[in-house]
Chain A
Amino acid sequence: MTRRQTIICSALSATGILLAFIFFNFIYPYHIHYQEQMQLFRFGADYFRESMAIPGGLGDWIGGFLVQFFYHAPAGSLILAMLLGLIQFLTWKNMEKGSFAAYPLSFLPAIAMFLFYCDENALVTAAVAMAASLTLSSALMNIRRTGFRFSTTILLMPVMYYLFGSISIIVPVVVGIRSAMRKKEMTAILAFSAAAVLMAVLIPFTARSCCPYPLERLIFGIHYHRYHNAIPLMVWTAVLLVPSVLLLAKVMTRDKLAAVSMALVILPAACLTPVFTDIEKERLFGYDFMTRMGQWNKILATSDRHVPDSPIAVECTNLALAKTGHMSSDMFSFFQNGPAGLLPEFTRDHFSPIPTGTVYYHLGMINTAQTFFFEAQEGIPDFQKSARLSQALARTNLLNSDYEVARKYVRALKQTLFYRKWAKETEKLLDNPELIDQVPEYAYLRSVRIKDHDFMFSQEEMDSMLGLLYVENDTNTMAMDYLLAWCLLRKDLPRFFECHKLLKKGYDARHYQEAVILYWALTHDGPDGMPDFITDRTAKSFTRFISRLQAGVDEASMQKEFGNTYWFYYYYRFK
């Protein structure tokens, strides 16, 4: 290549890394955070030993090491972008006498890997394993004596499989193709190919006898995807693309073909990226992240921009409303569709219980929060623990005075990079429990939790539980907000009216007025005796709503005029 061509190629690589960084940091930052919270990478012999106990363990350990930096989305984005850049560079390095025209083709495996990482459950281990395998392939090709190169490759196959998993099959494939391209000793190449195939078959079968995983996982990789039943297709596409581009590069020697190879790269990348990108999920992870960080106003601003229509998004919006004191006045300004958007039922997965557990935590239902956090952690499909959930569980156990159990979580967090400081501070509290009440958050939660009445958590008796929280401590106004919201969302106006009477202040909030006047209209013949906190404005608005309703005005018009009222919800939503 000429100097100019080298500069162009370098610029192309830099652009690729930059675009990947921009994508992950600005379009997919919450996916990055999601990845980080699905693992608990610990510096220590135990964690290292656990990782190394199964094939691909070193790749997994390095992957976990890198993912801990995803705690900061820009760092995570940069790491992912650099890894993809490395894969592209190593693919290029493995091209035999790569030409200027073939250079863009070296992006293809990296693009497949990029698409793989649009999936939130794609594990970084796969990229690490690929980079390691390509590095070794490149190094092996520096061995001049063919026989020695082949025998070393065959000997290293089980080692690479043990360290990086089945992606390491790239090594013999690349060595074989590149050696064939050098057109030397074809008999040796054939013998090498036969030996490599035999090893590729034998290795997973042998691994099976000492590693408790099904054969298909030992073949397709244990650590490449969070769901063990999922075969990571894009990873294997990337693996297949490596030999393909090496072969294609052989024919792409003329500079004029550069445009063709550029098209071969840009077209799939441009067409497939929108297909693989899941913005809805990104928004969902965003809600969860903002809830975790207590960014209540940011949640409300997000919900203002995009109607929150999934239960988790609505649930986080409602929590933000409660935390900012706007639930009773603005709740129905946001999309609501039943009580599942307030306190959803438990589902057996590793994500949805987290925001719900957070709601219970803020309500002071510590045991319930602990259940949800624990179950979410146990539900992580690849059997990892979660640093975020361990932190949450340390808090709930600390609040429950289960200090030794809290210490167990704290001990693990002390071995991490980003939670260590918090863990050390919490350890001081565990050593001196009398200091716990000096932390405002803990003091408040201990004061508002249920202390006298034991009962079993029951989704069906949510109103009783929320009521008891308030009855035991009337400073827990959030419990009352949730109780009344629960009744309103279930359209249980008699219960609402009954509970509303318990309010000592804030009883005249907009939605409460709307619900009371509606209940009054449904159960009384006239306004006589109606509570006097109902303002004229509410009364007039209600009269107008009823007259429009009776006149049969269409739903869209009603929504335009009354969409932010409880009345609209009552008549048009959660049917």
Chain B
Amino acid sequence: MMKRLSYILMSIMLVCSCYRFDPSAAHFTDGPVWPDYMDITIPAGIAPLNFCYTAEDGPIPVTTFSHGDMTVSIKGREVVWKEKVWKKMLEAAKGGDITVKSSVLPETWTIHVSEDEIDYGINYRLIAPGYEVYSKMGIYERNLSNYKERALIENTQFDGCVNCHAYNRGNPADYSLHIRGSHGATLLNIDGEMAAYSTKTDSTLGLCVYPYWHPEGDYIAYSSNNTRQGFHVLPDKLIEVFDLDSDLQVYDVRNNCLISASSIKKNDVWETFPAFSADGRTLYFCAASPRPIPSETEQIRYNLCSVGFDPATGSIGSRIDTLIFAESIGKSVSFPKPSYDGRFIVYTLSDYGNFSIWHHEADLWILDLATGISRPMDKVNSHDTESYHSWSSNSRWLMFSSRRDDGLYTRPFFTHIDEDGQESKPFMLPQKHPLHYYSYQNRSYNVPEFVTGPVKLDRVSAEKMINSTERIQFGFRMSE
């Protein structure tokens, strides 16, 4: 009897553990394949770009990839590469094109393999795109050359949530990681040493969030935001996230001290999203004039501004320059991210406010710092939200989050940016079985950031630190 029961149980488990490709899930697109990997530019080190045909019936497609003498044919509605073959083809095609032909499609398309390398991997938070309460979430790391993902830290280890993770130009050795909740802390890993900090001081508005590292690693710019949420009643909008107040400050890593200045701590200005320039001598940020909330929420508009910063003394300038006067065109800027080569700033432009992820109209724009010309990144923007973005360490790849497929679940996309700032058609983060994976993934990719190597985060030590009450208190001083 027990034997029979065991057999039944084993059979059930076997049935349950088999992967089955189901093309009926491909409702994200009207195109013939999903993800849309047609006519894209990719780095040579990327994991195989498996995709599937969206047609549920008809003859079984044969997809032929060719470059020079090398030809690979894959039969099936789901095109799944062998990793070794893929790597070989990419290595051969580096700097050139792979031509793709399908037995069921009239068109031929190409995949350009760029010579510009992409970083080792990406870090992101996975969280259900919701309101105030959160279920399981954490910070995860994905190796871009394969499909391996690992959890760096998860909220199964403590009560609270993790967010605001930042690395210095993708350097996995220096990071700032913020924990919210009853065990709230900011974990800073500097020169291989991790410690838990309390970032709120009597002289600042609140906890330090939205970190951005100074290129030399001696400073981290933060903002402090008094953030609230509101919930719309009309169907096409769900959530509005807004600040009731916000200020900026720069953390002096070596002297454990927050530095502020009257120029970035104004009562009549909300400053947020700080970012250092490539040379570390300018601090970019978004600034808006306060408006009554909720009655004038839709009139809150952030401009892109900058202020000088002297890394030698840690002093913040007094003159504020406005780079993008978005208010004048009835728009609002968020997430300014300068490229590390100092050539461009990519930012998100939406109708109002600063939490663009909940704005369907939000798009990415690029500002050429040499010419001062700003333009929408038409090749990467879609009918739905494009929001958070991050530069690769060589400034040739931009990763951005988009809700283009279902309007809610954020997924990472990559685009190549050439020396003139021209973007290529983006491609989605590859998965072994992308249709299945993204169809059943019920968490969003939040704040995706490039990393140049595996992050060394000792999960057990981090857990001990978070669960203890010991915190190093940030100091504070005003800039000279």
Contacts and interface: CB of A to CB of B under 8 A. Distances in A.
A273 interface: no
A456 B157 contact: no
B407 interface: yes
Interface stretch (B76-84, B124-132, B283-291, B419-427): B124-132
**Looking at A212, A379, A408, A457, which has the most chain B CB atoms within 10 Å of its CB?**
A212
Interface stretch (A98-106, A195-203, A363-371, A509-517): A363-371
Between A379, A380, A450, A454, the greatest number of chain B beta carbons within 10 A of the residue's beta carbon is seen for A454
B361 to A, nearest CB: 15
Chain B contact residues (Cβ within 8 angstroms of A): what range? 35 or more
Contact of B135 (A383, A404, A455, A456): A383
A208 interface: yes
A421 interface: no
Contact of A212 (B12, B19, B135, B157): B157
B231 A348 contact: no
Contacts of B234: 367, 450-451, 454
Given A213-B156, A378-B135, A367 B407 contact: no
Interface in B11-37: 12-13, 15-19, 25, 27-28
B456 interface: no
Interface stretch (B59-67, B318-326, B351-359, B459-467): B459-467
B467 to A, nearest CB: 7
Interface string A439-475: 0000000000111011111100000010000000000
Interface residues of A, number: 54
Interface string A375-417: 1011110010100000000000001111111011001100000
Nearest to A451: B234
Given A47-B16, A408-B406, A456 B232 contact: yes
A420 to B, nearest CB: 14
Given A135-B2, A375-B133, A378-B133, A465 B233 contact: yes
B130 A407 contact: no
Interface stretch (A38-46, A274-282, A303-311): A38-46
Interface in B131-158: 131-136, 138, 151, 153-154, 156-158
Contacts of B157: 212-214
A406 to B, nearest CB: 10
B130 A374 contact: yes
B235 A366 contact: yes
A367 B135 contact: no
Contacts of B327: none
A212 B138 contact: yes
A367 B235 contact: yes
B71 to A, nearest CB: 32
Contacts of A62: 9
B439 interface: yes
B439 A411 contact: yes
Interface string A342-378: 0000001000000000000000011110110011011
Contact of A208 (B15, B442, B460): B460
Given A45-B16, A371-B131, A405-B408, A212 B156 contact: yes
Nearest to B405: A404
B233 A365 contact: yes
B80 to A, nearest CB: 15
Contacts of B68: none
B240 interface: yes
B131 A44 contact: no
Nearest to B152: A212
Nearest to A348: B133
A568 interface: no
Contacts of A209: 460
Nearest to B467: A214
A365 B238 CA distance: 12
A407 B27 contact: yes
B406 A212 contact: no
Given A213-B157, A408-B409, A367 B130 contact: no
Pairs of residues from A and B, 8 with the lowest C-beta to C-beta distance, nearest first: A404-B406, A456-B230, A383-B136, A400-B235, A454-B234, A378-B133, A212-B154, A378-B135
11 contacts: A46-B440, A208-B460, A212-B463, A213-B157, A374-B128, A378-B128, A378-B130, A399-B235, A402-B406, A456-B231, A458-B294
